[in-house]
Amino acid sequence: MRALKIGLLGCGTVGQGFVRLLNEERFRDLRIRRILVRDLSKRRPGVDRSLLTTNAIEVLDDCDLVVELIGGVHSAGAYVRRALRNGCDVVTANKALLADSGRDLFAVARQSGARIGFEASVCGGIPVIRAIERGLAGDTIESITGILNGTCNYILTRIEENGADFAAALRLAQERGFAEADATLDVTGVDALQKLQILCELAFGSSHRWVRVHGIDDVRREEIEQARSRRSVIRHVASARRVPGGVELRVERRELPETHPLASVRDENNAVIVRGKAVGEMLFVGKGAGSLPTAAAVLSDVIEIASVPRAAAMVI
């Protein structure tokens, strides 16, 4: 593993988890040089305050690799583009940025010879991106179906098992750290769509797409109870499949029989079923929300970039 000077953009929930894992695992060759934050006075347990700065240039222009965890599209996009143009590798968990500007960013990376790691952008700690990019590179993927948003799944599980209404289940998800104070992107289905778009880009390329999005913000306890009376459950499901002329994307609530592989996925867990023409169905299940699962996926990308020389990565 080659030594890397890491510039960290953002030190919120996932950023602090990343710092914690890096410190715990004692990766001596991986060193955080600077950390960009908005508020220097905010308490961040386990984070060396001397590394903090509010000046992005101090982070971007003096590192080998940038880890982007600030979220959003505009500022994050500007920072990532600058890093890539400098020939600096980037690791990001930002699904909104990749869904909006992924093709452009990868084009910039190709021009400079830099690499982008983005395993953490979809399904937290589940290595589904690596599976599609590499493990299934020799197959033709026919469809992707999954529970891609841990917040929605946690809310639906709490309504199902505790009899809570939507508002109470959302508050509990926020208290547990599975939902942001403003959970609009989660409960309306936008977050799941962004993740599905990333998976589709890998699996299907630039084929024409039809999209339908429906969230869980209007779910009622009666809907879930009626499903249970039919030995079924309600899950928020994102799916993409090849159809004549392109790819169809759907994000919606579905009533699934108890025997369906996704029916047993509870709380903040995610699951993805990938169907390949040759291999058939493959199921990936794991933690989809929370600090450490996402931080672990970020760290795995950092380790891979540190371990694989650029020339070898191009061959792969």
Q: Which positions are catalytic?
A: 195
Distance of CA 284 to the CA centre of its chain: 14
Q: Does residue 35 contact residue 6 with C-beta atoms inside 8 Å? A: no
30-to-25, 120, 161, 204 alpha-carbon distances in Å: 10, 18, 43, 35
Angle in degrees, CA 297, 114, 202, rounded to 5 = 55
Distance of alpha carbon 162 from alpha carbon 1, whole angstroms? 48
Other beta carbons less than 10 A from residue 23's beta carbon: 13
